[in-house]
Amino acid sequence: MGIDFLDIAIRLEKRFNIKLPRGWTNDFPARRFPNDITSGDLAAMVLKLLPPDSPFRGKDDPIDQDMACIVCEYNLRGLSRLGRCPECGTPIEIEKHVWAGVCEVLVDVLGIEKEKINRDSRVFPDLGAS
Protein backbone atom coordinates (compact mmCIF):
# COMPACT_ATOMS: atom_id res chain seq x y z
CA MET A 1 0.00 0.00 0.00
CA GLY A 2 1.34 3.37 -0.98
CA ILE A 3 1.17 6.77 0.57
CA ASP A 4 -2.19 7.55 -1.06
CA PHE A 5 -3.98 4.83 0.89
CA LEU A 6 -2.34 5.91 4.13
CA ASP A 7 -3.35 9.51 3.38
CA ILE A 8 -6.95 8.38 2.79
CA ALA A 9 -6.99 6.60 6.16
CA ILE A 10 -5.56 9.60 8.03
CA ARG A 11 -8.03 12.01 6.42
CA LEU A 12 -10.99 9.72 7.17
CA GLU A 13 -9.89 9.60 10.82
CA LYS A 14 -9.69 13.39 11.03
CA ARG A 15 -12.89 14.08 9.12
CA PHE A 16 -15.06 11.70 11.13
CA ASN A 17 -13.17 11.70 14.44
CA ILE A 18 -12.61 7.95 14.29
CA LYS A 19 -9.61 5.72 14.90
CA LEU A 20 -8.93 3.04 12.32
CA PRO A 21 -7.51 -0.04 14.03
CA ARG A 22 -4.08 -1.30 13.07
CA GLY A 23 -4.41 -3.63 10.09
CA TRP A 24 -7.86 -2.19 9.39
CA THR A 25 -7.77 -3.35 5.77
CA ASN A 26 -8.04 -6.90 7.12
CA ASP A 27 -11.52 -6.03 8.45
CA PHE A 28 -13.03 -6.52 5.02
CA PRO A 29 -13.63 -10.29 5.05
CA ALA A 30 -15.31 -10.28 1.64
CA ARG A 31 -12.19 -8.72 0.14
CA ARG A 32 -9.25 -11.01 -0.43
CA PHE A 33 -6.71 -8.32 -1.28
CA PRO A 34 -6.40 -4.59 -0.44
CA ASN A 35 -6.81 -3.93 -4.17
CA ASP A 36 -10.43 -5.12 -3.87
CA ILE A 37 -11.48 -2.50 -1.27
CA THR A 38 -14.20 -0.24 -2.67
CA SER A 39 -15.37 3.28 -1.84
CA GLY A 40 -18.50 1.69 -0.38
CA ASP A 41 -16.33 -0.45 1.91
CA LEU A 42 -14.67 2.72 3.22
CA ALA A 43 -18.05 4.33 3.92
CA ALA A 44 -19.27 1.20 5.73
CA MET A 45 -16.11 1.14 7.84
CA VAL A 46 -16.59 4.79 8.82
CA LEU A 47 -20.23 4.14 9.80
CA LYS A 48 -19.14 1.18 11.92
CA LEU A 49 -16.49 3.20 13.77
CA LEU A 50 -18.40 6.43 14.43
CA PRO A 51 -18.31 7.32 18.12
CA PRO A 52 -21.67 7.62 19.93
CA ASP A 53 -21.31 11.40 20.26
CA SER A 54 -20.53 11.94 16.57
CA PRO A 55 -22.53 14.69 14.85
CA PHE A 56 -23.19 12.06 12.17
CA ARG A 57 -25.07 9.73 14.54
CA GLY A 58 -28.83 9.61 14.02
CA LYS A 59 -30.11 10.58 17.47
CA ASP A 60 -32.68 13.32 17.93
CA ASP A 61 -30.15 15.48 19.79
CA PRO A 62 -29.16 18.75 18.16
CA ILE A 63 -26.04 18.73 16.01
CA ASP A 64 -23.39 20.39 18.17
CA GLN A 65 -20.66 20.84 15.54
CA ASP A 66 -20.50 22.49 12.15
CA MET A 67 -21.90 20.05 9.57
CA ALA A 68 -22.82 21.12 6.04
CA CYS A 69 -25.94 19.98 4.22
CA ILE A 70 -24.90 17.58 1.45
CA VAL A 71 -27.03 19.45 -1.11
CA CYS A 72 -26.84 23.17 -0.37
CA GLU A 73 -23.99 23.28 2.21
CA TYR A 74 -26.17 25.08 4.78
CA ASN A 75 -24.65 24.74 8.28
CA LEU A 76 -26.86 22.27 10.16
CA ARG A 77 -25.42 23.06 13.62
CA GLY A 78 -28.15 23.28 16.25
CA LEU A 79 -30.71 21.30 14.23
CA SER A 80 -32.12 17.88 15.10
CA ARG A 81 -30.11 15.03 13.63
CA LEU A 82 -33.36 13.48 12.45
CA GLY A 83 -34.65 16.66 10.83
CA ARG A 84 -34.34 18.35 7.46
CA CYS A 85 -32.20 21.18 6.15
CA PRO A 86 -34.23 24.40 6.56
CA GLU A 87 -32.68 25.84 3.40
CA CYS A 88 -33.39 23.06 0.87
CA GLY A 89 -35.46 20.46 2.75
CA THR A 90 -32.96 17.60 2.36
CA PRO A 91 -33.28 15.03 5.16
CA ILE A 92 -30.30 14.86 7.50
CA GLU A 93 -29.34 11.24 6.88
CA ILE A 94 -26.21 9.72 8.37
CA GLU A 95 -25.39 7.40 5.48
CA LYS A 96 -25.57 10.19 2.92
CA HIS A 97 -23.39 12.51 4.99
CA VAL A 98 -20.79 9.80 5.54
CA TRP A 99 -20.81 8.92 1.83
CA ALA A 100 -20.37 12.59 0.89
CA GLY A 101 -17.46 12.89 3.33
CA VAL A 102 -15.74 9.76 2.00
CA CYS A 103 -16.11 11.08 -1.55
CA GLU A 104 -14.61 14.44 -0.54
CA VAL A 105 -11.62 12.69 1.02
CA LEU A 106 -11.09 10.58 -2.11
CA VAL A 107 -11.35 13.66 -4.35
CA ASP A 108 -8.85 15.58 -2.19
CA VAL A 109 -6.32 12.76 -1.92
CA LEU A 110 -6.53 11.31 -5.41
CA GLY A 111 -7.35 14.44 -7.40
CA ILE A 112 -10.23 12.78 -9.23
CA GLU A 113 -13.66 14.07 -10.15
CA LYS A 114 -16.47 13.24 -7.73
CA GLU A 115 -18.59 11.93 -10.60
CA LYS A 116 -16.10 9.08 -11.13
CA ILE A 117 -16.70 7.70 -7.63
CA ASN A 118 -19.44 5.17 -6.94
CA ARG A 119 -19.85 2.63 -4.16
CA ASP A 120 -18.38 -0.16 -6.30
CA SER A 121 -15.27 1.80 -7.34
CA ARG A 122 -12.17 -0.03 -6.15
CA VAL A 123 -9.89 2.49 -4.44
CA PHE A 124 -6.69 1.09 -5.96
CA PRO A 125 -7.20 0.17 -9.61
CA ASP A 126 -10.35 2.18 -10.39
CA LEU A 127 -9.63 5.44 -8.59
CA GLY A 128 -5.85 5.49 -8.85
CA ALA A 129 -4.64 5.03 -5.28
CA SER A 130 -1.27 3.35 -4.96
Q: Is the pTM of this model over 0.75?
A: no
- Mean pLDDT, each 10-residue run in order, the chain (130 residues): 74 87 68 76 87 67 81 88 88 84 92 90 76
Predicted confidence at residue 53, as pLDDT, reads 67
Taking the C-alpha atoms of 50, 54, 56 and 61 in order, what is their torsion angle to the nearest 10 degrees? 140
Question: What are the backbone dihedrals phi and psi of residue 40, each rounded to the nearest 5 degrees, phi first?
Answer: -65, -35
